[in-house]
């Protein structure tokens, strides 16, 4: 039995879940998420708890068991608390700013890079001192992570000086470079 899949999902107050076969709709104070889960799992609700069970012991059912439980749990957390990713920009002259809802990055290219966020994602550039950062907020963990990865891919950290866009507290192993005379 999957250790992740057999754990029950508690439903917090102010969150309502609607089950319609394999379709799950979760509604909470931050918004609403919907997803259709694979047919290899059975979703049941008892009081304020959701249980995910397998239909059979096939390899595919075992694979989808923990995945389905995690997807539902992420939906519940997303509509009640939301998800946040923070990116840090390091480099001389590198900066980020917001123009309306569009993120504009100046990270060493000849032209600034403009990134338009998806609908459910809010981008924010706080005016802090050292280490400019970009904050990505949203209710869908998958979309927040994809948006953060897309922004990081504009200028990933390079291995000699560490300049670029990285996740907050990400460790970059620097190379030594050439030894001079």
Residue-wise pLDDT for 81-99, tens only, equals 999 999 999 988 898 999 9
71 and 87 in a single domain? The answer is no
Residue at 44 is within a domain: yes
Query: Which residues lie closer than 8 Å to 42 by C-beta, 6 or more apart?
Result: 52, 53, 54, 55
Q: Would you tell me how many other CB atoms lie within 10 Å of the CB of residue 15?
A: 18
Q: Is the pLDDT of residue 132 over 90?
A: no
65 and 98 in a single domain? The answer is no
Q: Is the pLDDT of residue 161 over 80?
A: yes
Find the CATH number of the domain harbouring 105: 3.90.930.12
Q: Which residue has the tokens 């609700």?
A: 45
**39-45 mean pLDDT:** 93
Query: Of 60, 80, 100, which residue sits at a domain end?
Result: 80
Band the pLDDT of 72: cuts 50, 70, 90.
Answer: very high
Average pLDDT of the chain to the nearest whole number: 91
> Residue 93 has what pLDDT?
87
123 and 134 in a single domain? The answer is yes
Total number of domains in the chain: 2
Band the pLDDT of 180: cuts 50, 70, 90.
Answer: low
Kindly provide the b/e burial profile for residues 39-66, where b requires at least 16 CB atoms within 10 angstroms of the residue's own CB.
ebbebeeeeeebebebeeeeeebeebbb
């Amino acid at each position: 039995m999957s250790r992740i899949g057999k754990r029950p999902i508690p439903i917090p107050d102010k969150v309502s879940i609607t089950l319609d076969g394999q379709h799950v709709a979760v509604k909470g104070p931050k918004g609403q998420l919907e997803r259709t889960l694979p047919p290899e799992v059975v979703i049941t609700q008892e009081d304020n708890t959701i249980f995910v069970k397998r239909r059979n012991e096939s390899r595919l059912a075992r694979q989808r068991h923990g995945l389905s439980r995690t997807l539902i749990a992420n939906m519940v957390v997303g509509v009640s608390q939301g998800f946040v990713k923070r990116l840090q920009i390091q480099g001389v002259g590198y900066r980020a700013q917001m123009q309306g809802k569009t993120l504009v990055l100046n990270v060493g290219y000849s032209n600034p890079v403009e990134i338009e966020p998806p609908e459910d994602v809010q981008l924010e550039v706080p005016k802090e001192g050292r280490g400019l950062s970009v904050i990505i907020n949203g209710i869908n963990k998958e979309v927040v992570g994809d948006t953060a990865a897309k922004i990081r891919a504009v200028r990933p950290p390079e291995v000699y000086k560490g300049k670029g866009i990285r996740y907050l507290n990400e460790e970059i192993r620097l190379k030594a470079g050439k030894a001079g005379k």
